[in-house]
Amino acid sequence: MALSVLMTGCANSPYHDPNDPYESYNRTVYQVNDTFYTYIANPVNNAYTAVTPEFFRTGVTNAFNNVGTVPDMINDALQWNWRYFVKDTARLVLNTTLGLFGLIDVAGAAGIPSHQQSFSYTLATWGWSNSNYFMIPFLGPSTVSGAVSVLPNYFMSPLTYVHGGNWQYALWSFDGLQTISNELPAYNAVNEVALDPYIAIRNAYMQNRQYVLAQIKTDGQAPTSTSATSPVISAENINAPTTATTASTPSDASQVSPILLEQMSQS
């Protein structure tokens, strides 16, 4: 908390978007995160991808996603969404057994896809749907409710309860490494094409959040991770101010999907 206050006081931004009241703090954290991604995460990821084949990285991603199904189920229950609770239970059982402890996404192939889920979405279903943009150090884009959800998300994860020497730290580190490997290409692409990467990432994240919350209100659940109707950031809106309206749907395959940016910080 003291670090956050210090950063807020030290950051002086000429931009004052009413939808981003913590912009001075957020831009400072963005710069810290960008430095971390540029000088640490990117070189580590380059080495990781150089020594591991794609099928290995896919298996690791699937395995950690399978572990993440447990907190998904908890949030499904907290949202009183039993339809998706049953689907997530089926995913966990199928992928843990037939999928060799989650290395293979058997459930996805069987037509039971994963979906975005977090305690912040649960808070939205409980009434906290309007939450301001908030950058979390090293974790990336989020909202105030997302920051509040970091601790509940931690305690919902089965990795928290792994004991035995340094196994827990190793698993968390490996999970983080694979997440970075999956999401850095999207982050780097936005940084390359955006006039102001901070605004582009903010717009992408908040548009995606609006889309997810709209889905929660209409269908009772966040959309699937590979939904063809996910919002996008295009050349027309990549530097536009964030609005509170529901995001548009994609019309150009070359546009950048904020679904990828959303997964940079599932909080």
The amino acid that residue 15 corresponds to is: Y
Q: Which of 234, 150, 247 is nearest to 206 (CA)?
A: 247
Tell me, rounded to whole angstroms, the distance of Cα 266 from its chain centroid.
3
Q: Tens of pLDDT along 106-121?
A: 999 999 988 888 999 9
Torsion of CA 233, 122, 154, 136, to 10 degrees: 40
Q: Over 90: is that where the pLDDT of 12 sits?
A: no
Instruction: Please determine, for residue 192, whether its predicted confidence score (pLDDT) is greater than 50.
Output: yes
Cα distance between residue 158 and residue 43, in whole Å: 29
- Nearest 10 degrees: CA dihedral of 214, 218, 219, 225? -20
Give φ, ψ of 256 to 5 degrees.
-95, 125
Decide if pLDDT at 174 tops 50. yes
241 φ, ψ to 5°?
A: -60, 145
Residue 141: per-residue pLDDT:
94
Among 8-17, 152-161, 236-245, name the most confident range: 152-161
When pLDDT is averaged across residues 152-157 and rounded to a whole number, the result is 93
How far apart are alpha carbons 267 and 261 in whole angstroms?
12
**Hey, what amino acid is at 156?**
M
Phi, psi (rounded to 5 degrees) for 181: -60, -35
- 215 backbone φψ class: left, alpha, beta (φ>0; ψ -120 to 50): alpha
What confidence score (pLDDT) does residue 224 get?
A: 59
Q: And the tokens for 214?
A: 């709209």
| Measured distance between the N- and C-terminal CA atoms of the chain, rounded to whole angstroms | 18
Contact, 112 vs 226, CB < 8 A?
Answer: no
pLDDT at position 115? 81
pLDDT band at 221 (very low <50, low <70, confident <90, very high): low
Give residue 117's pLDDT.
86
Six token digits for residue 198: 């901070």
- Looking at residue 222, its pLDDT comes to 56
DSSP 3-state assignment of 142? strand
Can you tell me whether residue 61 is helix, strand or coil? helix
Q: Which amino acid is at 24?
A: S
